[in-house]
């Protein structure tokens, strides 16, 4: 007998999922046109965005580096180790003084350009170290840290660090209270939901951090990739719904008897995702399974999973 996850979805379930996906897409409507690779934009007085030339399926037009301040500037996420991007940052900063270089997290597309930028602007680094080092670039970070709620001053106003683990254990969002703008790194992206990368990434932490952000008074979300987003509370609620819907799909894909590997479950639970992205989807599938095991709904025997 085929287990329930192998059965074709009913028409009503298919319609419900299509409606949910459409609702997420509506909520994630950008507050602006999508930025272009390599572009420099003034988003508000004292806030500029420089888009790195590293476009791709996961990075969108490229990594967003934000320059916050005019004469006393904080650089948020120096981006990948690309000479062209470092040169664009140095030119855009001009004669301003860099008071700090802050990171949302230490994945290479956000942090690998740190050392190159510090050769021009040897400013203090504000970041947290991860629990696990896979997928992270930690060069230049020895001894650096910032506490949850820590602040740094710029002439555009103070910036506040908010711990948001999930995509990565050391992930921070940064709040600019004067504008009620939240710089979200990879916790909230401009056009899609982020990959969760176990063992450093954690689905339960990700959902808890989203719920924490939902309690903030926000005007706009400025992600690490893609355009900024309006309606922050709607975006956050949609992402929580999306993750719980995916969790339901994963649970439905698990066999009631016997067990299945990640490779067995992936095409069922992620049937709506392009196979070209299944390598990354596999990571998030694992994160969902680990969360289901935490909540007592799934069990694991080596590399095989089943319903508890």
Q: What are phi and psi of 125, to 5 degrees?
A: -110, 135
- Give the Cα-Cα-Cα angle 118, 120, 126 (nearest 5 degrees): 30
Pairing of strands 181-185, 172-176: antiparallel
pLDDT digits (tens, 9 = 90+) for 116-125: 999 999 999 9
Please, where in the chain does CATH 1.10.10.10 lie? 12-23+243-307
Residues of the chain under the 70 pLDDT cut: 1-31, 143
pLDDT digits (tens, 9 = 90+) for 58-114: 899 999 999 999 999 999 999 999 999 999 999 999 999 999 999 999 999 999 999
- pLDDT at res. 239: 94
- pLDDT at res. 201: 97
- pLDDT at res. 26: 45
Is CATH 3.60.15.10 the classification given to domain 30-228? yes
Considering the chain, what percentage of its residues have pLDDT values greater than 70?
A: 90
Least Cα distance to 293 among 263, 258, 250 occurs for 250
In angstroms, the CA 23 to CA 39 distance is 30
- pLDDT at res. 25: 45
Please, where in the chain does CATH 3.60.15.10 lie? 30-228
Residues pairing with 107 in the sheet: 136
Instruction: Give every CB contact of residue 63 below 8 A, 6+ residues apart in sequence.
Output: 51, 52, 54, 77, 79, 80, 85, 109, 110, 224, 225
Residue 239 CB neighbour total at 10 angstroms: 24
Least Cα distance to 51 among 121, 24, 43 occurs for 43
For the 12-23+243-307 domain, the top CATH level (class) is: mainly alpha
């Amino acid at each position: 007998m085929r287990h329930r996850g192998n059965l074709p979805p009913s028409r009503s379930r298919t319609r419900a999922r299509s409606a949910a996906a459409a609702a997420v897409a509506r909520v994630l409507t950008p507050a602006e046109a999508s930025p272009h690779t390599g572009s420099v934009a003034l988003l508000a007085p004292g806030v500029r965005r420089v888009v790195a030339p590293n476009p791709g399926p996961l990075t969108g037009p490229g990594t967003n580096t934000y320059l916050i301040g005019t004469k006393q500037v904080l650089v948020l996420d120096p981006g990948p180790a690309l000479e062209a991007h470092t040169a664009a940052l140095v030119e855009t900063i001009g004669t301003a003084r860099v008071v700090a270089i802050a990171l949302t997290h230490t994945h290479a597309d956000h942090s690998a350009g740190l050392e190159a930028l510090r050769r021009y602007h040897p400013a203090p680094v504000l970041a947290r170290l991860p629990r696990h080092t896979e997928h992270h670039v930690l060069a230049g970070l020895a001894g650096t840290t910032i506490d949850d709620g820590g602040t740094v001053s710029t002439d555009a106003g103070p910036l506040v660090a908010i711990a948001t683990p999930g995509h990565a254990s050391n992930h921070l969002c940064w709040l600019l209270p004067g504008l009620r703008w939240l710089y979200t790194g990879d916790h909230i992206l401009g056009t899609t939901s982020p990959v969760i990368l176990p063992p450093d990434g954690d689905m339960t932490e990700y959902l808890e951090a989203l719920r924490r952000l939902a309690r903030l008074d926000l005007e706009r979300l400025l992600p690490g990739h893609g355009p900024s987003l309006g309606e922050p509370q709607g975006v956050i609620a949609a992402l929580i719904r999306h993750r719980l819907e995916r969790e339901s799909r994963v649970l439905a894909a698990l066999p009631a008897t016997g067990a299945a590997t990640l490779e067995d479950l992936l095409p069922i639970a992620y049937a709506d995702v392009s196979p070209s992205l299944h390598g990354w989807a596999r990571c998030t599938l694992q994160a969902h399974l680990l969360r289901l095991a935490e909540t007592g709904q799934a069990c694991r025997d080596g590399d095989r999973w089943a319903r508890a």
